[in-house]
Structure 1
């Protein structure tokens, strides 16, 4: 059982005392057990709440419950007791899977996929929470069952959004044709969803090109600021427009917590159909939402000052983000354990079982659209983890600690120009090892910035104006992290430390 009111200082203390050197120190999670999809992300009563699929009993995906952490500032986190548990004989007796938390008339309410048995269809289950989201009443109420539409063969992962003052929901689905789909619902009463039919499928040419899958899992739809990279950093609200971003986890048959297609997104417009009054999403472009093979099942929360289109049921966003252009959207993703990919050394299931824990959530990420493409950056609050600066404008091979941030830029004040084929590498290197394990390798162009975070076994790389790369790697005894910089590039390096 998780301990209530586990403060940030205790997270740091327990993480530092954890027997596994691969355990992260700056991505709060329970000390033991399996976690996967972030769920129920919300900002209610001045706190950010992040739930996640959780098995406190072992490092395997089984009898999934919802774990829960919260923070007022995205830096100092508290762990709360398990929020939702499978109920014997209930619609979620096999697991409380992916879903959302919304404020329904002042009552925090979870809407999630309840599953009765292995291989069974999911239903949308509703649970009501206390004002602080710590206590939950699970009465097994089902708000939506499997549609009777014979084309729909699988359905999961409800997501709620607002448009033109009305509340809607969608779920990811698979069709008998082998295509992925979204199902649309009207939700005047949160306890009784009205199915409106198949909303979008991967037969759409834009979706087919950018988000191919057999089932679209964990669908998201949010409104984010859009503009040009030529605009001033402070943002010109008169010159910028909003874009609708739809994001999916791209499931293929045979996936078992190893998702080769990863996560994709579509960027487009949302308009009201004059005939039906229902929203219509028209995708215009898209792409990958993360370039790493260890990223899946992200969830986005819409943070909004005011009640414009796209505003959630939750109250206004935190003052820490109030200076940024509206609307704001924060994303968390799941980085799994695994056997290693792309030449990286991984962990076997026996090693995972012995460690007793599995799964990490990423840093919170701020979304925008720049020049028609998705841009992902760490939330500004993450800067608070910067401690002692270890290097300034370092060049060549730069050693990083097991908990570090490096900002790589074009080197200033030196005679060397950045080569057209310049590449930055992050490797695990042992003394006398002629073939280090390359964990990340990416090009660097003039004017670009890379922010590299290392937290034990989790690596996050953020490229300015683009999406992130999420990777897992496990240093062996005697190995150290080395950032290899091309001529013409330099890095500022900080030790990651918990703020006072």
Structure 2
């Protein structure tokens, strides 16, 4: 496929690339999801956002709510930098917990020129819509600790105490999670390292010089840490998980190309959930529609036999289906659809145009699933490449071999063993598009 240089296209020409059932801004930039929390019949989701694509603008906490985890309403930002406050250059990542009748946020406040983002806390007295003035919750690291990074608090309640995990990296020591304990969410005591790992390779992945966005889930009595690997020279790496009670043996949480900064909801109506930031998968000159970034589908998670974290889409995603299932092979589709392959081997192709297509290969013999976007776009700034996951299928489960969700430029593929691959595609050809698939595959249009 030949990729040609072209002038930026109008917003109307790329409207088919806009996700419609994934959380995104109509204008501006989204990155890390933060602090999902259930309050009554609604779930509140916060996220890093800027009203423009100028990344020098200080980040704030955007806000969305949903009653079903798949239909979202956007609101005004819930936390914005105070001009004279400890977050004046940005309200960075963290989480929320219930503090009696209030919702309390913990997050990192950025002040230009300081070596660390201080851990801040602020309270909402209106159900999570707005938060008051923040104050610092714990001290910054001392110079003697040689921390190269310290940020992104995650607070939870367990064993009659409150716990706080903070992502950290140490010069010459590698990545870690610092642990703190409190009885009242006000006074915190340092408890040492919750986990540490010298920088290394785990299953071919760089474990990072530091860990961003640490999350802690308790599943079947096991404390599972979810971290985002980071390094000064390379920036964001991969989202990794491991059992805290065992020697750290990280596994990838998502095997695609565009998932980072996972955020956990420990207890939901569906059990433990993860959200993630779906990164762009295109170079900055290709951001021509005034928006960038999206939040993944909420994922129900569990621990696999190999101690890796497995995922399935939140069950209510099925309520977006319009009408009965139709055969996928030969179907014409809009940019919002679901394709399901019950089992076996086969190849799914979403044919965008004569020269643009997305290919997904299921191979039961090798137990692999491959997503290939090498020919998905003629746009010069769109990323290409091929991704593959092993141990992809579990014929004993009641889940289909693969569920493929397409939402504009977003692609999320879930397998029967709980593997997931997230990526982004940017076809220049507008819909309708055509599907080639095994005869048993089914197709639904999805309407947010």
Return the TM-score normalized by structure 1.
0.74
Which of 35, 40, 62 is 2:35 aligned to?
40
2:257 pairs with 1:293 = yes
2:357 pairs with 1:381 = no
1:211: Cα distance to partner? 6.8
Which of 245, 254, 258 is 2:233 aligned to?
254
Which of 399, 420, 425 is 1:468 aligned to?
420
Q: SS of the residue aligned with 1:262?
A: strand
Which of 230, 235, 240 is 1:264 aligned to?
240
Return the TM-score normalized by structure 2.
0.82
Task: Name the counterpart of 1:70.
Answer: 65
Q: Structure 2 matches for 1:352-371, cutoff 5 A?
A: 352=287, 354-371=288-305
Which of 167, 171, 181 is 1:172 aligned to?
167
Distance 1:454 1:287 in 2: 26
2:429 pairs with 1:450 = no
Task: Name the counterpart of 2:280.
Answer: 337
Compared with structure 1, are the counterparts of its residues 126 and 150 closer, same or farther at alpha carbon in structure 2 (3 Å cutoff)? Answer: same
The alignment covers a number of residue pairs equal to 408
Q: Structure 2 matches for 1:39-438, cutoff 5 A?
A: 39-58=34-53, 60=55, 62-117=57-112, 120-138=115-133, 140-148=134-142, 149-203=144-198, 212-224=207-219, 241-256=220-235, 259=236, 261-268=237-244, 281-283=245-247, 285-303=249-267, 317-318=268-269, 321=270, 328-338=271-281, 346=282, 348-352=283-287, 354-372=288-306, 373-389=308-324, 391-392=326-327, 394=328, 400-410=333-343, 420=365
1:137: Cα distance to partner? 1.1
1:101: Cα distance to partner? 0.9
Distance 2:109 2:420 in 1: 31
Distance 2:285 2:150 in 1: 32
Q: Is the 8 Å Cα contact of residues 36 and 96 (structure 2) preserved in structure 1?
A: yes
Q: Is the 8 Å Cα contact of residues 418 and 445 (structure 1) preserved in structure 2?
A: no
User: Cα deviation per residue 1:250-286 (whole Å; 9 max; x = unaligned)?
Assistant: 1022335xx3x31110025xxxxxxxxxxxx434644
Distance 1:160 1:336 in 2: 25
Distance 2:13 2:83 in 1: 33
Q: SS of the residue aligned with 1:469?
A: strand
Distance 2:161 2:203 in 1: 29
Q: SS of the residue aligned with 1:20?
A: helix
1:398: Cα distance to partner? 6.1
Does 202-211 or 243-252 show the bigger shift? 202-211
Q: SS of the residue aligned with 2:340?
A: strand
1:151: Cα distance to partner? 3.4
Distance 1:390 1:440 in 2: 28
CA-based RMSD of the aligned residues comes to 3.2
1:123: Cα distance to partner? 0.7
Which sections of structure 1, spanning at least 5 residues, go unmatched?
1-15, 225-240, 269-280, 304-316, 322-327, 339-345, 432-436
